[in-house]
């Protein structure tokens, strides 16, 4: 009886670990996408002559904002253009 109970616990444990692994797939894909965005943005910033003098923290801060969807505009748009 002890061996069958142990097999049942191992089966439940394996099922639980499998479910957790399946649930982590979308998270890992999203993290890989974000890391790719961050690396590409930092590389783009490093190529721009106007931004080369920025320090590493400033470049990374801008890259995080871009990859998180922040919008940086120098002026607020308070009126709409009419055609």
45 contact partners, CB below 8 Å, separation of at least 6: 51, 54, 59, 62, 63
Which token pair is 30?
């999203």
pLDDT tens digits for 59-71?
Answer: 898 888 889 887 6
Distance, in Å, from the CA atom of 56 to the CA atom of 68, rounded to the nearest integer, reads 18
Which token pair is 8?
């049942």
Across the range 69-79, mean pLDDT stands at 61
Nearest to 65, CA basis, from 37, 26, 43: 37
Q: What predicted TM-score, i.e. pTM, was given to this entire model?
A: 0.64
Domain residue ranges of the chain, discontinuous segments joined by +: 2-67
pLDDT tens digits for 10-26?
Answer: 999 999 999 999 999 99
pLDDT tens digits for 25-68?
Answer: 999 999 999 999 999 999 988 988 888 888 888 889 888 888 98
């Amino acid at each position: 009886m002890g061996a069958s109970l142990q097999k049942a616990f191992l089966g439940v444990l394996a099922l639980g670990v499998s479910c957790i692994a399946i649930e982590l797939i979308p998270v890992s894909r999203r993290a890989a996408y974000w890391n790719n965005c961050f690396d590409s943005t930092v590389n783009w910033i490093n190529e721009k002559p106007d931004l080369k003098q920025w320090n590493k923290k400033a470049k990374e801060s801008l890259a995080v904002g871009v990859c998180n969807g922040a919008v940086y505009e120098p002026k607020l748009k308070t009126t709409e253009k009419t055609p």
